[in-house]
Structure 1
Amino acid sequence: MSKNNVIIVTGANSGMGKATAIQMAKTGATVIMACRNKDRGEAALKDVRNQSGNSSVELMLCDLGSLESIRSFCESFKEKYNRLDVLINNAGVILPGRHETKDGFELQFGVNHLGHFLLTNLLLESLIKSAPSRIINVSSGAHKVGKIHFEDINLTTNYSLWRAYAQSKLANILFTYELSERLAGTGVTVNCLHPGAVATNMGVNRKTGFGTLITRMLRPFFQTAEQGAETALYLATSSDVEDITGCYFYKNRAINSSKASNDKEIAKQLWTLSEKLVGL
């Protein structure tokens, strides 16, 4: 990892994203923390700079639940930086009750998949120009029970939190595999991972406090955010995987993902739908 490298980490204000940003900043690279909330982002920025000893860490606002915000982020990034070496799509959301993004998509599908789909596509030119470069998508073992509900992609009927979350995490892997094929020969690798059960605030509703007690009760059985970030860091920095693409990792090892995640026709169908939904 060179000090000239530029790295983007989404959801870098807390949990695994913050842990990832700290470790990436310790390499001396320029790290862009792509965060939705300005106040929490600025607080995290101070921590990342202090703990890494790297002043070349920047906060840039990016709400993955807003297509307009994503486009604005990418325009601002490309105006300031002429390269992108690593894109770590870490941000994720899981909340009780059905919610929608600013553009009317079911929240988990909209943020976890569509937001990162648009972000990545808008940054591909920078990644290809900077090759060899890497894209890392944080998925989850929850993808194994997931299905892409093409007949009702926003789950307007028969909604459940886990059905929505599993669909979004399956979409992450389908996106990874399809993108890796599209980028063959460019020098850009694309991999995804299951971080394991991690004690973060991703499932906590900040307004109602939902999930706080459950998270505290289960925390002894969870990994720390730092442990959960290890595989993403491995994929971002290790020479062992510099030529590996289109794989699903857990604990620094490539493992098999679900049968559904390897369905190439579903992957292509999801890609076409995603392009339409985000306006590409």
Structure 2
Amino acid sequence: MDGKVCLITGASGGIGLEAAKALAGMGATVVLVGRDATRTEAAVSAVRAAAPQAKVEWLKADLASLQSVRELAATFKARYPRLDVLLNNAGLILDRREVTADGLEATLATNHFAPFLLTHLLLDVLKASAPSRIVNVSSDAHYAARLDFEDLQSERGYIGFRVYGTSKLANILFTRALAKRLKGTGVTVNALHPGTVRTGFGHNTKGFFRHIVKLGAPFMISAEKGARTSIYLASSPEVESVSGEYFYKCRPRKPSSVARNDDFAERLWQVSEQLTGVKA
């Protein structure tokens, strides 16, 4: 990874931080994205401690805000002439419905619309840096998810884990549709399930899911193990030409039938373009 530049969202802790440590240790320049200065600066220090020779920087962004995503892309491109790996890792789950300043349901805004927009804004530099890679962290939670285009913002009923699953389903559909559009460009895109990981994820909730996370913690894998598939997809020569797939434990995995529905993927793409302001 010498000479390569990696941008990682949600890198102030958990699997994002572990991926940053590993990629920095391989020689990559790593740019961490976080919304909390104290936590993200601590993450930068942790990366430097793990890889003393690492080139590491952090950029502030709130992925629940489309304007913040646009500013992140602009700042990155102003500072870096290339991008070899975009790791869309940031994730959110809420037990109560919240709406962003853009009028979007917050979980879907953070988990899907933010990486959709960020990826589009960075596609030019990714293509110019080819061969390059996009890695989207999804989840097996998508297997139980449904995609209701008549209520995409969950206004008729809100169940936190179901909405989270829908956002992870959207990650795979986005990956599938983007892979088709990137054929012949030298840019690949893949999605993954990291496993059930013991991190701070879900601790911001106050309801039932928070208790499930606490009870299940002893049976969850470490963030280091959870980051392995992200690291593999970002760096391994074995998947240099693989695109449009879903991985678990560094191996391809068959996603749900809904996640393989190309009509859904295209419809979601069109809706996402409209809601994020991306031009077709």
Structure 2 spans left out of the alignment, 5+ residues: none
Structure 1 spans left out of the alignment, 5+ residues: none
**After the TM superposition, which segments of 4 or more aligned residues of structure 1 sit over 4 Å from their partners?**
208-214
| Aligned counterparts, 1:3-42, within 5 A | 3-42=2-41
Is contact 2:161–2:209 with CA below 8 Å preserved after alignment?
no
Match of 1:175, as an amino acid?
A: F
Instruction: Tell me the equivalent position of 1:156.
Output: 155
TM-score by length of 2: 0.96
| Aligned counterparts, 1:19-98, within 5 A | 19-98=18-97
Instruction: Tell me the equivalent position of 1:232.
Output: 230
Q: Secondary structure at the match of 2:31?
A: strand
Match of 1:254, as an amino acid?
A: P
What is the distance in 2 between the residues matched to 1:5 and 1:94?
A: 32
What is the distance in 1 between the residues matched to 2:101 and 2:198?
A: 28
Q: Secondary structure at the match of 1:88?
A: strand
Q: Cα offset for 1:210? A: 8.0
Match of 2:84, as an amino acid?
A: D
What is the distance in 2 between the residues matched to 1:21 and 1:210?
A: 31
What is the distance in 1 between the residues matched to 2:256 and 2:186?
A: 27
Range moving further from structure 2, 163-172 or 197-206 = 197-206
Instruction: Tell me the equivalent position of 2:258.
Output: 260
Q: Cα offset for 1:215? A: 3.2
State the aligned residue count.
278
Is contact 1:101–1:111 with CA below 8 Å preserved after alignment?
no
TM-score by length of 1: 0.96
> Quick one: structure 1 residues 213 and 164, their matched pair in 2 at CA, closer, same or farther if it must change by over 3 Å?
closer
Q: Cα offset for 1:54? A: 3.2
Match of 1:190, as an amino acid?
A: V
Deviations 1:199-233 (A, max 9, x none): 11110118x69866543432210000000000011
C-alpha RMSD of the superposition? 1.4
> Quick one: structure 1 residues 219 and 240, their matched pair in 2 at CA, closer, same or farther if it must change by over 3 Å?
same
- Percent sequence identity over matched residues? 47
Q: Secondary structure at the match of 1:163?
A: helix
Match of 1:6, as an amino acid?
A: V
Deviations 1:125-153 (A, max 9, x none): 01000000000000000111112221011
Match of 2:277, as an amino acid?
A: G
Query: Does residue 133 of structure 2 align to residue 134 of structure 1?
Result: yes
